[in-house]
Structures are given as C-alpha cells and as structure tokens.
Structure 1
Amino acid sequence: MLTKLFGSYRFSTFTGILILSATWVIPFIAHHTPVCAAPSPANMPLYNSIVSLFATFPRQQILTWILLLFTAIYLNQLNSIHHFISAQTYFPASLFIILATGFSHPYTLTPETLILPLLTWATAKIINSFKSDSLSYSFFDASFLIGIASLIYFPAILFIALLFIVLFFFRTFQWREWLYTLMGISILYGLVAAFHYLCDWPVKPWANAISMSFSTPRHFSFSSLWQSLFATMVVVLLLAGSFRMMQFIQSFKIFVKKIFMLWFIFFLVSVLLLFFSGLQPGILLPACIPLSYLFSQHLSTMRTKWLRELFLLILIALLVTIHVV
C-alpha cells in the first residue's frame, strides 16, 4: 500500500507528499514550544538577515516547509525530465521529505535548509551539460549558485570541488569551462566586496563568520534514540542500495551513469561537511538529496514487495516518533 501511495505518479501521491511534508507541526501540537532561529556572529551575515526578516513564529516554520517542499518537487521534476530512475514515480520527493524531516529540526530555519534549493538547482545545471560535449555555460551558472549558497552557509563552498571533479572526469577538456567555473563564484564575491566598499559597510562580520565556520568543534550527536534508530535504518538502506547499484549500473545508458556518478560525488562532498560543522544532524540535509535518488532506484526495482513495504513503514513510523516523543 505504501509503495502504491508514494511510488505512483498520481495526484493522490502529491497530496500524500504535502501531508508528509507538514510533519514539522507535530512538535508544536505535542509540546507547545515554538523554536525560532536567531541571528548570531557565528553565522554568515546573509543568513542573519534572512532570519531577522522571518524572525517570529510561524513565519520561519512556513518558510522552512516551503523550502523543503520546493526541493522535493524539484527533485522529482529532474527525474521526470531526464528519466534516470527506472519509472515515473514520486519516490524521490517522498523519500527526500522523509529523510530531511528525520535528520533536521524542520521547525527552525537552519542555513542548511536555505541552501537546499540552490544546491539542487546547481546540480541540475551540471546535468544539463551532460547532454552535449560542446562548450557549456552551465558551469558558470552552477558556480554562481554555489557561491550564493556559501554566502548563506560558508562550508557549502566545498561544492565547488564537485564542479572541478565533473570537469576533470566527465567532460572533454575545454579551458573556458574551467574559467567559467572560477568566474562564477569570483564575480559573486567581487560584487559583494564592491557593494560593501561603496556602502562603507564593514567586512569583519563576514571574516569572523567564515573563520568560525572552520573552527567549530567537531562534535556530532543525534537528538534522541529514535533519531539514532532512524539513521541506522538509513545506513541499512544506503548499503543495500549501493550494492544493488553496483550490480546494475553497467546496464544503464551513459547519460544515466553520469548522473548517478554525479549524485555519488555530491554525497561524498556532503559527508565532508561533517568535518567543518559537525554539530547537529541538520548538517546531513544536503546528503538527503542524492540519497533520495539512490533509495528511489533501489525501492522501485525491488522484487520483494513486502520488504519494500517494511522499509517504508519503519522509516515513516520512526519519523513520526522522532517528532512526537
């Protein structure tokens, strides 16, 4: 039943995703403790400005819900356009919502949540470049988008490495594409510096936030036993999905192979973020993007239907428990 609900491509499935994405309201109903993020010198000034704009409950929570829902739908749209998962399905959107709300605190506006649409959009630009070996301006766009993400959450700048890895392994050498990649983020930071100079604004808050993003204590912990169990279940699915992917990836078309390799590199860069800001499970939010595709491919091709139902049931049950207990 769960497979039919989240794996089909019907309006009822979309309605189910809307309901599932609203699970962030459960903590307020259960505990009556609205939590709002607040500006801090440790955060990038752009993030602090956004938080100040959405300073009160429930504006932060509504924006968080919109960002998660938009990212989920965009992930599904990417598969609808490029067809790299075996079937037309809402699995990517459904699984992203489950993973994102399980690992994060969706009732607070975190910087990781704000950068999700930007990282997804940047990756979509890279995927577009795979359609042709001719010169592509997509790397400039992707670099610019990653630059914006780094202005909100500076460790996101690590995703620039994703662009260079793609250029080295997946593209024929064209020096202008490498130049476009450097220009995208350089122009953005140049504009920010020029704007501060013209307005006579201090750059010290930016420098302090950048330095603190790399000096954060490397402590990582889950908020509850249920979230630890949820993470364990995700690891089990990760191992099973990776093993199955290694078995079948050689049968994929070259275009699809490149896309899944891109998501694999995206996942590795996401894991690297733990070494820079390993404080809260919310740091795992970027990793939920490639995991949603891996799990979608795995679940949509599983022959054992009852096991597929069991995986989904356990994930959803743990998700609800995390936000209620």
Structure 2
Amino acid sequence: MINQFRKLNPINLVLLLGYAFFMRISIFLELPAKLNFDFFEPFARLLINVPIGNSLSPTANICIATIFIYIQALIFNSVINNHNLLAKTSFLPGLMFVTGTSLFMPFMVLSPALLCNFLLIWIIDKFLKLGKTANSVTMVFDIGMIIGIGTLMYFPFVAMLLMIFLSLLLFRPFNWREWISGLVGFITIFFFLAVWYYWNDNLTLFYKIWKPLGNKFPSVFTINYKDYLSLVPVSIIILLASLQLRENFFRSFINTRKAFQLLFFMFLIAGASFYLKPDFRLWHFLLCVAPAAVILAYYFSNAKKRWFYETLFVLFVLSVQYFLFV
C-alpha cells in the first residue's frame, strides 16, 4: 500500500477516500446514540450562531467528518508536496493524515478542532512561504486573522500565535513591523467581537474570554494508559523517522530543515494548548495530526526495504483497528 501511495497516481484519490471510510468501520458498527457539537465557542455565539451541528444524525455527522478529513488530507498533501518537504512528491502525507485522524473514536466525529484543522493547514502553508517572500507583513497579518477566526471556533487555537514569532525567528530577519502585524491581524477579529459585545451591553463578559490564559499548566495528569496503546506503533515510526531525519538533516536544504523545526514546535504547542480548555476533549489532539503526519510520511518516503515498511504500515493499521474495536 505504501508503494502505491508513493506515486502521484490519480487512482489514489479513490483509494484514499475508501481508506478513510475503512478506518472508520468501528464507529459505523457501533454508532453513538447522539452526537452534538458547536461550530463556535460560547463567547462567539453572540455574534455568530450556527445551530445545525446539533441537528445531524450520528451517521450524517460521521460521514461529513470523514469527507472533511478527506478534503483536508488532499489540501495537506498538496501543501507538503508544493514545499518539497519529502524526498519526492507523493500521496504519503495525505495517507498519514487520514491514518492519524483515525487513531481514536473522538477523532472521527465533527468537532471544533476538526474544523480548525482547515485553518491549521492554511497557516502551515503560509508559514512555509515566509522564507520565500520579500515583504511578509501582509502575510503575517493574514495569519493573525486566521488564528483569530480559529480562536472563535476553538479557544486553544489562540496558542498558534506563538507560532507566528517562532516562524519569524526561523525564516525572517528581524523586522518589528512583521512581529506587530500578526498581533494586529488577531486583534482585528476580536475588535469586531468586542464592538458587538459593547452594542449588546455585555462588555464585562468580553473580558472573561481571556481568563483561560491565566490557567496554570497542570502538574498532575490522570491517564488510563490502556486507552492510548494505539500510540505505541505511532511512536515507533516517529522514532525511526527521527533517526532518519537526523541522518539526513544537514544534507537537506536550509528551508527544509527550518520547516521540520517549525512543524516540531507546532506539534508541541498544539498538544500543550489543551490546558486552555478546562473541559477539553480527546479530539483536541487532532491539532497535532498535521505536523506528526509529515514526520510519518518522511519515514515512509525515505525507507528503503519494501518488505519492512509495508509490514510496518500494515501492523500499524491493524493495531489501530484492534484498539478501536476493543
């Protein structure tokens, strides 16, 4: 299967869609009684309220989520190929993205984090363009606005503001206008929200939006390790990819090295931002899938022994399915 997706063959479009539904067999066989989700955070519903999310049947919810993930995988695949982050262009980034979004049941339903992944892929593309742009002030402003929109949908997305400064450090010489423009873009979105709160005499509630930013990072975690055994094969592949990346790191183009550093920090920030949502759900970690998928795709793109990488991927898929069913 890996060898098939190493090629940019149009038939992979059909295979990827079939694979996306195949990886969701478990949830289709055991449909939840009811699935609800909100497009926007409670503080944004005063401005925009989309009630359709609670009127979908479980089957429709999962099917729409699968189609969204398929579209994201294609967009993500195109972004990674356009920036030449792998050895050659392929469908592997899309394949790994679909696989990553199938690790846990909560990943398979509509959620704010799933919708934010559209924005995350968009800003990944813009971040990777920073080093190739003569004047990036406008681009950084756009990134700030995109992060602002994402924060309206899911508040922990605000943590991506840190990625603006990290990307500027990696890709650009210091320019204070660029550093300010990202914040201005973000503030622009919330300026309109603040005005709406003011018009509705709720300005005092607007300040409460930012209370989670004062949360302390939790020092104690309650984890049922059996629920996360499916991450073992992922960790093994990431370890193999890291060793391979380390071996080839200084042979790669400078922009490619910087891109992998950027994605590594994005993975950490996306994962750690869960503390900004006291009642966060497991689907929060969908925000980690895109940067992790690049690492997985890097390994399978550069692996030499076909029998080994094909077997490894089959075992990976089978282990995911096993833990989903049990």
Contact 2:274 2:284 in 1 (8 A): yes
Residue 70 of structure 1 and its aligned partner are, at CA, apart by 2.0
2: CA distance between counterparts of 1:313 and 1:47? 44
Q: Secondary structure at the match of 1:247?
A: helix
1: CA distance between counterparts of 2:113 and 2:229? 22
Residue 144 of structure 1 and its aligned partner are, at CA, apart by 0.8
Question: What fraction of aligned residue pairs are identical, expressed as a percent?
Answer: 18
Residue 38 of structure 1 and its aligned partner are, at CA, apart by 4.5
Which residue of structure 2 lines up, in the alignment, with residue 262 of structure 1?
Answer: 262
2: CA distance between counterparts of 1:61 and 1:126? 31
Which residue of structure 2 lines up, in the alignment, with residue 84 of structure 1?
Answer: 85
**Alignment CA distance shift 1:250-1:25 (3 Å):** closer
Structure 1 position 119 matched with structure 2 position 120:
yes
Structure 2 unaligned spans of 5+: none
1: CA distance between counterparts of 2:35 and 2:285? 20
Which residue of structure 2 lines up, in the alignment, with residue 143 of structure 1?
Answer: 144
Which residue of structure 2 lines up, in the alignment, with residue 311 of structure 1?
Answer: 312
Which residue of structure 2 lines up, in the alignment, with residue 247 of structure 1?
Answer: 247
Structure 1 position 13 matched with structure 2 position 12:
yes
Within a 5 Å distance, the mapping from 1:185-196 to structure 2 comes to 185-196=186-197
Q: Secondary structure at the match of 2:32?
A: coil
Residue 32 of structure 1 and its aligned partner are, at CA, apart by 3.9
**Structure 1, 158-167 or 16-25: larger mean CA deviation:** 16-25
Which residue of structure 2 lines up, in the alignment, with residue 160 of structure 1?
Answer: 161
Contact 1:95 1:295 in 2 (8 A): yes
Residue 29 of structure 1 and its aligned partner are, at CA, apart by 3.8
Contact 1:98 1:315 in 2 (8 A): no
Number of corresponding residues: 320
1: CA distance between counterparts of 2:180 and 2:162? 14
Amino acid at match of 2:123: A
Amino acid at match of 1:265: F
Amino acid at match of 1:113: L
1: CA distance between counterparts of 2:64 and 2:44? 16
1: CA distance between counterparts of 2:303 and 2:4? 16
**Structure 1, 98-107 or 118-127: larger mean CA deviation:** 98-107
Residue 208 of structure 1 and its aligned partner are, at CA, apart by 5.5
**Structure 1, 20-29 or 116-125: larger mean CA deviation:** 20-29
2: CA distance between counterparts of 1:219 and 1:206? 30
Instruction: Give per-residue Cα distances to partners, 1:156-204, cap 9 Å, x unaligned.
Output: 1111001011223321111211121111101010011113333x16367
Which residue of structure 2 lines up, in the alignment, with residue 30 of structure 1?
Answer: 29
2: CA distance between counterparts of 1:34 and 1:5? 37
**Structure 1, 47-56 or 126-135: larger mean CA deviation:** 47-56
Amino acid at match of 1:231: L
**Alignment CA distance shift 1:201-1:6 (3 Å):** farther
Contact 2:156 2:276 in 1 (8 A): yes
Residue 26 of structure 1 and its aligned partner are, at CA, apart by 2.4
Which residue of structure 2 lines up, in the alignment, with residue 284 of structure 1?
Answer: 285
Amino acid at match of 2:130: S
**Alignment CA distance shift 1:288-1:135 (3 Å):** closer
**Structure 1, 189-198 or 142-151: larger mean CA deviation:** 189-198
1: CA distance between counterparts of 2:133 and 2:205? 42
Which residue of structure 1 lines up, in the alignment, with residue 51 of structure 2?
Answer: 52
**Alignment CA distance shift 1:305-1:40 (3 Å):** closer
Amino acid at match of 1:317: L
Which residue of structure 1 lines up, in the alignment, with residue 3 of structure 2?
Answer: 4
2: CA distance between counterparts of 1:244 and 1:79? 18
Amino acid at match of 1:132: T
Q: Secondary structure at the match of 2:142?
A: helix
Residue 281 of structure 1 and its aligned partner are, at CA, apart by 3.3
Normalization by structure 1: what TM-score? Answer: 0.87
